[in-house]
Amino acid sequence: MYTCLNYIDGQWMPAQSEATLESRNPANWHELVATFPHSDSTDADKAVQAARRAYQKWRLVPAPNRAEFIYRVGELLLQRKEELAHLMSLEMGKPITESRGDVQEGVDCAFYYAGEGRRLFGQTTTSEMPNKFAMTVRMPIGVCALITPWNFPVAIPCWKALPALVCGNTIILKPAEDTPACANFLIQIFHDAGLPPGVVNLIHGLGEEVGQALVEHPGVDLVSFTGSSQTGAHVGEICSRTHKRVCLEMGGKNAQVVMEDADLELALEGALWGAFGTAGQRCTATSRLILHRDIKDKFTAMLLESTGKLRIGAGTDPDTQIGPIINGVQLQRVMDYMEVARSEGAKILTGGERATEGPIKKGFFFQPTILDQVTPDMRVAREEIFGPVVALIEINSFEEAIAVLNDTPYGLSSSVYTRDVNRAFQAMRDIEAGITYINGPTIGAEVHLPFGGVKQTGNGHREAGSAVLDVFTEWKSVYVDFSGRLQRAQIDNH
Ligand code: ADP
């Protein structure tokens, strides 16, 4: 059992109230994985004060030196990958190979942003005036609150923390209530990498209490949030009221199109991985399969057969392909959607119920589920379910496929399987989403490309790649006049 603590100003400590909360294994809720501080606004305030103090020094550390710490974080993550991956599978349930991938994404992220320490490019440009020099530089923002979900307990905090730090900001991580131990492990790595006190802080607790306290705190300059659309909207409202920069990554209702000319075996592998990987609990999960009528029956039969062979179990069991749902509340939500599906006239081809047989009966497992006869207007085709559930929608043409794909309030990931290069390029042009895969599933982002979505998925920002630097820095335009006289711009000098 793990005892998590807050990490403030380089010190591990309990919540001021000393109250604690519990994190349990979703594959066996009798197993206590960790206790963690039930922090309140006093703890949040302490972390903000520490981060504010540290910021004044950290912003002046040359970026290549800041990057050396980031590089060390990557090395330590790599060294402790197996231990951390095991803890992740235990605490949030995903299969061990996926947990290793989650940690590896943190490693990749560290090495990528360590490199950024020697770039952080600005522009030099011309001036309207003689003997005048013009350039742009990136400035850090200040204290950043990073509010993260449980489904990528290492990758997502790394996506946010590492670029924030290399840019010269200080951070406070508020991890999800379901994965405190993973967050603790990660912050121990930051500590061991030697980051100065106050540069990185960790506050555990409930989102609506300590998360909200951070979002409201006047000493926080920026909030980077990944989570549900509902919470994101709330966080966004507070940030707009308090004039904070806010980056929101929220829901998705991602679709994979399979055209009649597609390689069906390939499309099948993509659909299985996209829909049922991480038990469908990814914001990029495939929750709609848009199938051309000419291949729909054949593809559905193939999908049914393969789905029936998927092995459900604890993430720590190396044979497992589908782990548990994160907690009882989310399991109930997925089950409620089965009622919605039935009442709307969708047909449950397989699954639709909890999985309770054998050693998994004490866990929150749900059978991989295929809903047929779904139409684009149904709630199960429009709302994010966040479980191993995929809806089949039949279409008659490529144009209809793209229209149906776009007919959603979200716009995160998308995929089209076709052998027709013209269709592939039309899809790249016409799909309203932040990410489009051609002949690949909707999941599998790489850290050096921008990540984020359009419409209600986000608020116009991107994570990852060089794009995230625009989240964690402000641009400053610098003019140097070496003419020795007043030169007036914004005046008609002609
Ligand atoms: P999920 O459905 O993925 O749990 P949430 O949006 O509820 O999504 O949670 C994502 C993160 O937001 C978690 O770290 C959670 O603690 C935090 N959170 C929840 N409510 C609030 C809030 N009112 N203010 C700030 N953070 C919150």
| Of 261, 256, 259, 265, residue with least CA distance to 285 | 256
| Atom 14 of ligand 1, nearest CA residue | 176
Please provide the average confidence, as pLDDT, over all residues in the chain: 97
CB atoms within 10 A of CB 400: 17
pTM for this entry: 0.97
Tell whether ligand 1 has an atom less than 6 A from the beta carbon of residue 169.
Answer: no
Q: How many CA atoms lie within 13 A of 58 on its CB side?
A: 28
Domain 254-438 sits in CATH at 3.40.309.10
Percent of the chain's residues with pLDDT above 90: 97
What is the token pair recorded at 112? 């990528």
Q: Which residues pair with 140 in a beta bridge?
A: 473
Tell whether ligand 1 has an atom less than 6 A from the beta carbon of residue 375.
Answer: no
Is residue 292 predicted with pLDDT exceeding 90? yes
d(CA 186, CA 443): 24
The string of pLDDT tens digits covering residues 335-393 is 999 999 999 999 999 999 999 877 778 899 999 999 999 999 999 999 999 999 999 99
Superfamily of domain 2-250+458-478: Aldehyde Dehydrogenase; Chain A, domain 1 (3.40.605.10)
CB atoms within 10 A of CB 42: 12
User: Which atom of ligand 1 is nearest to 214's Cα?
Assistant: 25
The string of pLDDT tens digits covering residues 117-165 is 999 999 999 999 999 999 999 999 999 999 999 999 999 999 999 999 9
User: Which atom of ligand 1 is nearest to 232's Cα?
Assistant: 6
d(CA 436, CA 256): 10
| Of 316, 443, 452, 352, residue with least CA distance to 28 | 316
User: Which atom of ligand 1 is nearest to 212's Cα?
Assistant: 24
| Atom 27 of ligand 1, nearest CA residue | 207
The string of pLDDT tens digits covering residues 388-434 is 999 999 999 999 999 999 999 999 999 999 999 999 999 999 999 99
What residue spans define the domains of the chain?
2-250+458-478, 254-438
Cα Rg of the chain (Å, integer): 24
What is the token pair recorded at 473? 């820095």
Q: Identify the residue whose tokens are 């939500």.
A: 333
3-state secondary structure of 455: strand
| Of 303, 439, 294, residue with least CA distance to 372 | 303
The three-state DSSP-derived secondary structure of 283-339 is: CCCEEEEEEEHHHHHHHHHHHHHHHHCCCECCCCCCCCCECCCCCHHHHHHHHHHHH
What is the token pair recorded at 431? 């799909």
Tell whether ligand 1 has an atom less than 6 A from the beta carbon of residue 176.
Answer: yes
Q: How many CA atoms lie within 13 A of 53 on its CB side?
A: 12
Q: How far is the CA of 216 from the centre of ligand 1 (A)?
A: 14
The amino acid present at 140, given as its one-letter code, is P
d(CA 57, CA 276): 46
pLDDT, greater one: 491 or 325: 325
Question: Would you give the distance in Å from CA 45 to the centre of its chain?
Answer: 26
Q: Do domains 2-250+458-478 and 254-438 have the same CATH topology?
A: no
| Of 306, 293, 288, 294, residue with least CA distance to 346 | 288
| Atom 2 of ligand 1, nearest CA residue | 228
Q: What is the pLDDT of residue 96?
A: 98
What is the enclosing helix (H) or strand (E) of 414? strand 413-417
Is residue 492 predicted with pLDDT exceeding 90? no
| Atom 23 of ligand 1, nearest CA residue | 208
